[in-house]
């Protein structure tokens, strides 16, 4: 019996070592060229001993770079009007009482069923091209099936909040989420 346990232990350790070796071997090398329209030119430059200049991705704008009108563009007029009196403390209570915090976290390291709310104000700026951050957040609450964040399950968030929350509640929640802007 003891020999069987030792064999299983050795097999398990060997398997873990192999998995670690494969994971390390498969790690991407940031210095390697990637497939892009410039790949041919970059390979020729490398072969000629020239330094390859890599373009940095274009950063998305921050919420702070938008005008108030750009932030709320497309929102229903009654929600825009209610946002003038938004109560962020009330929104926190709504998030608690409606179970939002069961799927969304403000801690970026905490993986939950729903996307993080960490920095969601800035993330919402470019989440859906052509849609204002306020409208994206409003739709995420009122009609969550319009857009599903990649790598998160669709159809999990209840689509009833538009019927159960008041206009002021919706405005409070949108304002609260827009206020979650780290790194500005």
> Could you give the percent of the chain with pLDDT greater than 70?
87
Segment 32-68, tens digit of pLDDT: 766 777 778 888 888 898 887 766 777 778 999 999 9
Residue 39: the pLDDT is 78
Whether the per-residue pLDDT at 1 is higher than 70: the answer is no
pLDDT tens column, 69-84:
999 999 999 999 999 9
For tokens 């994206």, the residue is 136
Q: Report the pLDDT value the prediction gives residue 5, as an integer from 0 to 100.
A: 66
pLDDT of residue 25: 61
Runs of H (alpha helix) within 29-164: 39-47, 68-72, 77-83, 88-97, 120-127, 133-142, 161-164
Average pLDDT over residues 145-169: 94
Q: What's residue 37's pLDDT?
A: 76
The predicted model gives 151-165 an average pLDDT of 93
Check if the beta carbon of residue 132 is closer than 8 Å to that of residue 74. yes
- Please tell me the distance from the alpha carbon of residue 72 to that of residue 135, in angstroms, as a whole number: 6
Please check the confidence at residue 103 and state whether its pLDDT lies above 80.
yes
pLDDT at 169 over 70: yes
Q: Residue 22's pLDDT band (boundaries 50, 70, 90)?
A: low
Q: Which of 43, 61, 39, 36 is closest to 122 using CA atoms?
A: 61
pLDDT at 21 over 70: no
The mean per-residue pLDDT over the stretch 113-125 comes to 95
pLDDT computed for residue 11 by the predictor: 73
Mean model confidence pLDDT for the chain = 88
pLDDT band at 161 (very low <50, low <70, confident <90, very high): very high
User: How many CA atoms, within 13 angstroms, populate the side-chain half-sphere of residue 59?
Assistant: 5
């Amino acid at each position: 019996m003891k020999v069987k346990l030792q064999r299983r232990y050795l097999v398990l350790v060997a398997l873990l070592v192999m998995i670690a070796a494969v994971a390390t071997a498969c790690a991407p090398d940031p210095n390697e060229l990637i497939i892009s329209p410039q790949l041919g030119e970059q390979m020729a430059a490398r072969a000629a001993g020239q330094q390859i200049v890599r373009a940095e991705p274009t950063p998305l704008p921050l919420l702070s770079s938008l005008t108030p009108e750009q932030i709320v563009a497309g929102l229903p007029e009654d929600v825009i009007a209610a946002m003038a009196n938004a109560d962020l403390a009330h929104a926190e209570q709504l998030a608690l009482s409606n179970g939002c915090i069961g799927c969304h976290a403000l801690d970026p390291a905490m993986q939950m069923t729903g996307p993080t709310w960490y920095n969601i104000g800035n993330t919402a700026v470019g989440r859906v091209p052509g849609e204002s951050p306020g409208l994206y957040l409003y739709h995420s609450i009122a009609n969550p099936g319009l857009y599903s964040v990649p790598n998160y399950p669709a159809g999990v968030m209840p689509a009833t909040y538009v019927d159960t929350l008041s206009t002021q509640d919706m405005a409070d929640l949108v304002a609260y989420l827009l206020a979650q802007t780290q790194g500005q």
